[in-house]
Structure 1
C-alpha cells in the first residue's frame, strides 16, 4: 500500500516536469538588444519569458552578426512562474494583470505546453525552467564505469580464489567473515573511507567521477564477491571431477568449465550490485559529488554530480517549480534502476541452468 502511495505521489508530482510552457514572441535583434537582451522582447512579455532567453540574445548576436537588424518570431521558454500557473499551482510573483495576460495569450495560441526535451538535454540551473538532468546522467554513467571497472574484476577474482584455490585456514575464514560484515556496513562509512584514503591520502580530485566510482567500488565489492561465490558453488562437483578426470589442471577446470557455467549468476549479482551503487547518495555527498554542474562533464577527473545527488540538491531548493523537477528526477532514476533489476532477472532466467 505504501509503495502504491509512493508511486502515485511521484507520478502526480513528476509527470508535469516533462512538460514546459513555451511562449511565441517576436525577437528584435537591434543595437540596443545587443547591450541588453530585454530590449529585444516586447515589454509586456518580458515578465512572462524566462530570464535565460533574455540573457542569451546578446550572445546569439555576437556569434551570428547577420541577426543584427532583423526581427524573428520564435518559441522560447516561459518563466517558471508562468509554467507553474498553467499547471494549476500557486504563482506568488504573478499579479492579476499578469494572469489575465497569460490567459489571453493561451487563448490566442501564443503560449503552449510542450514536451520538455530540455529536461533531458540540459544540465543543472538555478532557474527552474532551465534545469535538466543531462549533466547528472553523464556523471552517473562515468561513475558507474569506474565502479564496474574496479569492482567487477577484483570481486570475481577474489571470489574465484576463495572458492576454488584458497586453503581452509584461519586467514581465509577471517577474510570471509570480514567480507560478509562489509556487506552490512552503512554506505556513509564508505564515503568517509573514500574521503580519507582516496582524496586526503592519494590526492584524487574531489567531486570527480573517478573518486565517486572508486568509493562505490569499495561498497559494491562485497556484493559481487558474495554473489560470485554463490554462483561458483552452484556448479555441481561432478563437472569439476569430470574435468580433472581428463587431465585438466585446477586453473583449466575453473577457466574452461566452472566459470562459464557460473557466469549468468555472476552477471546477475554484478548488475544488482551496480544498481544498488547507482542509487546511493550518502557516500557521494561525503566525497563532494553534490556540486553545481551546469555543463556536461568531459573528464573522469573533473567535477561532476550523479542523479541521486541531483535529486537531493533540487529537493532543497525553495522554488516551487523544483518540486516537480525533484519528482521527475526520481522517476527517471527509478526507471533506470527497475530496468537494471529487470535485466538481471531476465539474464538469470535465460541463461540459468538447473542441475
Structure 2
C-alpha cells in the first residue's frame, strides 16, 4: 500500500509524466511549431496580398493614361466655299483638317515636312469633324475653332510616355547662330557644350570633333524664337562651334541671331522612339501657344474598335460582353438548376443516373476550346446561325458553364437539412411543393454562388469565342443579339498583340473595365443572395 502511495505521489510531483522537464520541452516545441505555422500562414497571406497589390497597381498605372486624351484646337475653315450648307457631309474634310494644321507652321514647305506635320493630327479627325458638322454641333459659315484629336504618338509625348527628357538648362555665355540653306552654325563662347555632348554619348573624331547621331541623346538649343538640333560639336579658340539642323526658324526669316540660349536634352535617342525631334518641337510650339488641352477620353469609352490607337474604343466590346452574358445566363441558369433539382431530388439512384453524374463531373474539367469546336460544328455549320454574334457566343458559353452550375446547385440542395423536407412532407406537402416551396428557397444563396462562379468563368473566356469568329475586327457597336460583336477578353487579346505603345495602355484600361464588369456581377449576386437568404 505504501508503494502505491509513493508511486502516485511521484507521478503527481514535479518529476511526473506530464510535469517533467522532458514534458515541458515537448510542450514548448509544440507551441513553437504552432507559432511558426501561424506565422507561415500569415506570411503566405501577406505575400499573396503583396503580389495582388503589385499586379493591380501595375495595371492601374499603365491604364490611367488611356482615360485621358490630348486635343489641339485649330481654326478650321468651314465657309461656303469649303462646305456646302445643303450637303455638309460631302465636303473634303481631309483637306480642311490638313490646311488647318499646316497653317500653324508657315515655314514648312517641303513635301516630306508637310506630310510629317499633317501626321500630328489623328487620321480619325476628319470623319469626327464631319459627323459633328452634320449633327449641327459645329456651326458653318466661316472659320471656327474646333478641338481635334492628336495622333497617338503626339498624345503619348504630351503625356510624357514617349521620350525620356533630361534636364533643361541655360547655357553660360552667349551663342551666335548663322543660318544658311536650312542648316545652322552655332558659335558658343562657353566650351561647356562639349561636356554636354560627351554626356549625350557623342562619338569623337580624330580632330576632337564630337558627332551626334540618331543613336545618341538629342541636344536642342533654343535661341530667340529658333530651335536648333546639334549634329556635331568641335572645340574652337573662343569656345566651341557646332553644326545644327534648323527645327524652328528664327523670327522674321532672319539668318543670324545671338544672345543667351537654352539647352534641352532629350535622353531617349531619336532612333529609339516613335517621334522625331522635329515633331517634338512642333508639338511644344502648339502647347506653348495654348492650343493643346488634355480632357477625359470620351472616344475610348463611347466608340468601337479602330486600327488607329487614339480612335479605338471599348464600348463595342462592353456591349458585346453584356449581350453574350445575358444569353449565357438565360440558358445556363434555368437549365442548370432544373437539372440539379431533378438529379438530386427526383432521379432514381441507378446506373443511368450514375453515368450522367460522372459525365457532368468530367465535362466540368473539359478544356474550354472543346466547347468552341462544338459551337463551330453545331451552331454555325449545322444550324447556320450568324457568325461572331452574341447569340452564338452565349450558347457556347452556356454549354461550358452548365456543368459548374449543376454541380454547385446540387451541393446547395444537398446542404439543406433533411428535417426541412421531412417537416414539409409531414404537414401534407407534395414532393414538388416541398422542393419548390421549402428546399429551393433555402438553397438559392448557394445556387447563386455557383452561378456567379460560372458566369465569371464565362466572362473571362477567350478560346471558345475565337472558334466561332468573335475575334473578327468589329467597328460598329452591336445593336442586338445577332449583330456581329466582340467581347472584352477577345478585345484585350487583340490589343495586346498590336505593336503600338498606345494599345498597351488601352489593354490595361480594358482589363480594368473587365474587372469592374466582374465586380458588378458579384455585387448583383451578393444582393440577390441577401434577398433570398433564409435562416432555419
Q: Normalising by the residue count of structure 1, what TM-score does the alignment of the two structures yield?
A: 0.93
Residues 272, 344 of structure 1: 8 Å contact kept? no
1:69 maps to which of 141, 144, 149: 141
Residues 304, 316 of structure 2: 8 Å contact kept? yes
The answer to whether 1:236 aligns with 2:417 is yes
Question: Matched residues in 2 for 1:11 and 1:58: separation?
Answer: 34
Deviations 1:161-217 (A, max 9, x none): 000000000110111111111111111111111111111111111111011000000
Classify the secondary structure of the residue corresponding to 1:201. Answer: coil
Residue 340 of structure 1 corresponds to which residue in structure 2?
A: 521
**Greater share of helix:** 1
Residue 125 of structure 2 corresponds to which residue in structure 1?
A: 53
- Aligned in 2, Cα 1:218/1:177: closer, same or farther, shift over 3 Å? same
Higher relative contact order at CA 8 Å, sep ≥6: structure 1 or structure 2? 1
- Aligned in 2, Cα 1:61/1:88: closer, same or farther, shift over 3 Å? closer
Question: Matched residues in 2 for 1:214 and 1:167: separation?
Answer: 29
1:140 maps to which of 313, 321, 328: 321
Cα offset, 1:60, TM superposition: 5.3
Question: Matched residues in 2 for 1:119 and 1:62: separation?
Answer: 22
Classify the secondary structure of the residue corresponding to 1:76. Answer: strand
The answer to whether 1:279 aligns with 2:279 is no
Classify the secondary structure of the residue corresponding to 1:257. Answer: helix
Deviates more, 1:227-236 or 1:340-349: 340-349
The answer to whether 1:84 aligns with 2:84 is no
Residues 444, 533 of structure 2: 8 Å contact kept? no
Classify the secondary structure of the residue corresponding to 1:73. Answer: strand
Q: Runs of 4+ in structure 1 displaced over 4 angstroms? A: 58-68, 345-355
Classify the secondary structure of the residue corresponding to 2:162. Answer: coil
The answer to whether 1:291 aligns with 2:472 is yes
Deviates more, 1:210-219 or 1:344-353: 344-353
Q: Please report the RMSD computed on the Cα atoms of aligned residues, expressed in angstroms.
A: 2.2
Deviations 1:34-70 (A, max 9, x none): 2352334231464322111124445655666995532
Question: Aligned ranges for residues 178-193 of structure 1 at < 5 Å?
Answer: 178-193=359-374
Question: Aligned ranges for residues 1-355 of structure 1 at < 5 Å?
Answer: 1-30=50-79, 31-32=81-82, 34-40=91-97, 41-43=100-102, 44=104, 46-58=118-130, 67-90=139-162, 92-344=273-525, 348=529, 352-353=533-534
- Aligned in 2, Cα 1:76/1:254: closer, same or farther, shift over 3 Å? same
Residues 37, 58 of structure 1: 8 Å contact kept? no
Residues 37, 57 of structure 1: 8 Å contact kept? no
Residue 25 of structure 2 corresponds to which residue in structure 1?
A: none
Larger Rg: 2
Count of equivalent residues = 355
Deviations 1:128-183 (A, max 9, x none): 11111111011101111111111011000000000000000011011111111111
Unmatched 5+ residue regions in structure 1? none
Question: Matched residues in 1 for 2:93 and 2:532: separation?
Answer: 63
Question: Matched residues in 2 for 1:116 and 1:278: separation?
Answer: 25
Question: Matched residues in 2 for 1:57 and 1:258: separation?
Answer: 61
Deviates more, 1:79-88 or 1:50-59: 50-59
Deviates more, 1:327-336 or 1:157-166: 327-336
Question: Matched residues in 1 for 2:65 and 2:341: separation?
Answer: 49
- Aligned in 2, Cα 1:325/1:66: closer, same or farther, shift over 3 Å? closer
Residues 268, 347 of structure 1: 8 Å contact kept? no
Question: Matched residues in 1 for 2:67 and 2:148: separation?
Answer: 16
Residues 444, 529 of structure 2: 8 Å contact kept? no
Question: Matched residues in 2 for 1:250 and 1:59: separation?
Answer: 63
Cα offset, 1:314, TM superposition: 0.7
Q: Normalising by the residue count of structure 2, what TM-score does the alignment of the two structures yield?
A: 0.63
- Aligned in 2, Cα 1:186/1:65: closer, same or farther, shift over 3 Å? closer
Residues 22, 78 of structure 1: 8 Å contact kept? yes
